[in-house]
Chain A
Amino acid sequence: MREEIHRIQQAMEREGYVTDRAVATAVHLSMALGKPLLVEGHPGVGKTEIAKVLAVMQQGDLIRLQCYEGLDATTALYEWNYPKQLLHIRLQQEGDASVGAREADIFSERFLLKRPLLAAITHQGRPPVLLIDEVDRADEEFEAFLLEVLSDFQVTIPEVGTVRAAARPSVVLTSNRARDLSDALRRRCLYLWIDYPSLEKELRIVRTRIPGIDERLAREVTAFVHSLRRMKLAKVPGVAESLDWARALVALHATHLDEELVRETLGCFLKDEEDLRTVSAHLDAGELAALSSPVA
């Protein structure tokens, strides 16, 4: 294994992110090739974490752009600070500056509200990590706009001019596959698919993230969640849900699972009423022991 990849894996583990070679290799290549990394996977498998850990590793800032339907350039790139501009015009009213000078004044960087993309481009110091989260939730026009920004890391603001990134930020895009991303965007990125972790890996994640957890409890929780993933649920619990649940159980001073405890805490990892009913039915049938022991 290339030493850098090994180092990345170690650094990630140090940051509490349990990882494997595929993840470490993709992150390494993304840095070495200077290409954005597109991470796809089910919700709650730790896609966003990659960017966070990357920022810590590179000792850079993390700049996050959360995507949603209808996201547009004014929320993603920049917006003028209108109230401040208005006030400024008022204050300057008595002065004898020309309209041109005043205009240049209020349309200067001081009055610019930098949204995440511009913030990442104009960032000073160590290159930041730009996390474009859930890009599949933004609409296609935005995706096209994003392509433009990602290809040369420069934006043109009519009033100010072209702003170019001093140091290219590392870019991580995540997608839950709510819709298919365009081939153009995919081609611009390196690709990483994160699946649900294996039982061993998830157990390791639980142990790492919740140091005080009882060994038996950790095993039962992971095995239970794995059993759930084999059922046909509307919202399949991810790793984030296993961790939430395990934390809740630790807070309740649990050392192992029992039926009552599971019933009381179902809401930690099931987020759909239909799913609650399905799992309750399994519990009614007395399947707790079967569900919480690892299947070969």
Chain B
Amino acid sequence: MSAVAADLVEHTARFCRRLRAEGLSLGPADTLDATRALGSVDLMDREDVRLGLRAALVKRVEDVPLFEELFDSFWANPGPVARNPPVIPPDADEEPENPAAAPSRRRTVHAPRELEELAVPAPSSREALGRQDFASFGEDELRAVTALARRIARRLSARPGRRWKLSRRGEQVSLRRTLREALKTGGELSTLTYRRRKLRRTRLVILADVSGSMDLYARLLLQFLYALQNAFSRVETFVFATRLSRVTDELRAPGYRDALGNLSDRVQDWSGGTRIGESLATFVASWPRLVDRRTVVVVLSDGWETGDPEVLGAALALLHRRAGRLVWLNPLLGSPGYEPLTRGMQAALPHLDVFAPANDLESLEQLARHVSL
């Protein structure tokens, strides 16, 4: 490390901060690694410096282009670096404390500009919820949806996994434990200890579109979300139009009416425009621990995207990699002659495991087939 001059250390630290400001997740340890890496390469060789820093600072291939771009602009002047530091916005130092509030990856960095250009329907006030004919839901209808939710919950319930745990009764003798017990009796196997497979638990994450274009299906959809949330504990529900809101707790209510009341208090952008991509990107960034290989992610939307379809594609690609299964239910898919030609749907299709209709109870029934991993 002593070989690396102090100004170079400082410059490297600045470069790391810059990368962080652009959305790379880098910590102080990475800065240290970068400096150590520079100590192990030929500093007079630009290619050495580039490859060395890249190995230390880039943690996934998606970030390589950003790195290359920033490297070129940042280290453009290989002269006396300390005297000529590149201009960094002063606020780049301040790391936002709340990761949810931070622009997560670079794709969302330019979002504010796009916001201005797009004519997004103003998020309507919460009275919008009252205009929906929610009050007139039939008891029968709700009962049918509840029965369906229970069936889906059953499919999601615990099944034997691959890992083992000790138990008094079980499918296999645990040799390790039995032998230890046998020591007490001089090697005589008197008590057998068993082991059984740990239960494997599937989780369900629902991301439901409640924008204006989905109004027609809102009633069915809400009943479904409510029933599912109350039939099964490992469900997380989110709704979005222009913004993402987590409504898991709101839906957990003793009655459907209470749940609706809670929802109208919580969700402000009901029947607004649709920014599916940004909403999903928010989900990916703010709730990273929620999705793993044992999670089925269900997106309920008609795919009428007013935001950037590329953002949507990127968010779905990430979800697809992390989730056990990615399902998109589109109410329009049920209508004859519909083809998923909207830009949003086109961007989404390559990343989906299942693309299925969801316009009536019957089609929701099909969901039960897709949710077990």
Contact = CB atoms under 8 A, between A and B. Distances in A.
Interface of A: 1-2, 4-5, 21-22, 25-26, 28-30, 32-33, 35, 40, 69-70, 72, 79-80, 82, 85-86, 89-90, 92-93, 99, 102-103, 106, 139-141, 177, 179-180, 183, 186-187, 189-193
Contacts of B249: none
Contact of B52 (A25, A40, A90): A25
Given A5-B41, A179-B321, A180-B322, A89 B187 contact: yes
Contacts of B267: none
8 contacts: A25-B48, A33-B36, A82-B179, A89-B183, A93-B187, A103-B183, A180-B318, A191-B58
Contact of A193 (B42, B52, B61): B61
Contacts of A92: 187
Interface residues of B, number: 41
A85 B27 contact: no
Contact of B162 (A2, A69, A103): A69
Contact of A25 (B36, B41, B175): B41
A187 to B, nearest CB: 7
A190 B55 contact: yes
A189 B175 CA distance: 37
Contact of B186 (A28, A40, A89, A180): A89
The 6 closest A-B pairs by CB, nearest first: A89-B187, A70-B162, A25-B51, A186-B59, A32-B40, A2-B42
B293 interface: yes
A89 B40 contact: no
B47 A1 contact: yes
Given A22-B51, A35-B33, A70-B163, 20 more contacts: A1-B47, A2-B41, A5-B42, A5-B48, A21-B47, A29-B55, A30-B55, A33-B40, A79-B176, A103-B180, A103-B183, A140-B293, A180-B322, A183-B59, A187-B29, A190-B55, A191-B54, A191-B58, A191-B59, A193-B64
A72 B162 CA distance: 9
Nearest to B163: A72
B3 to A, nearest CB: 12
Contacts of B52: 25, 29
A90 B183 CA distance: 10
Nearest to A31: B40
Contacts of B180: 103
B30 interface: yes
Interface string B81-93: 0000000000000
Contacts of A22: 51, 54-55
B45 A26 contact: no
Interface in B28-72: 29-30, 33, 36-37, 40-42, 45, 47-48, 51-52, 54-56, 58-61, 64
Contacts of A93: 186-187
A29 B163 contact: no
Contacts of B163: 70, 72, 141
B40 A28 contact: yes
Interface string B12-31: 00000000000001010110
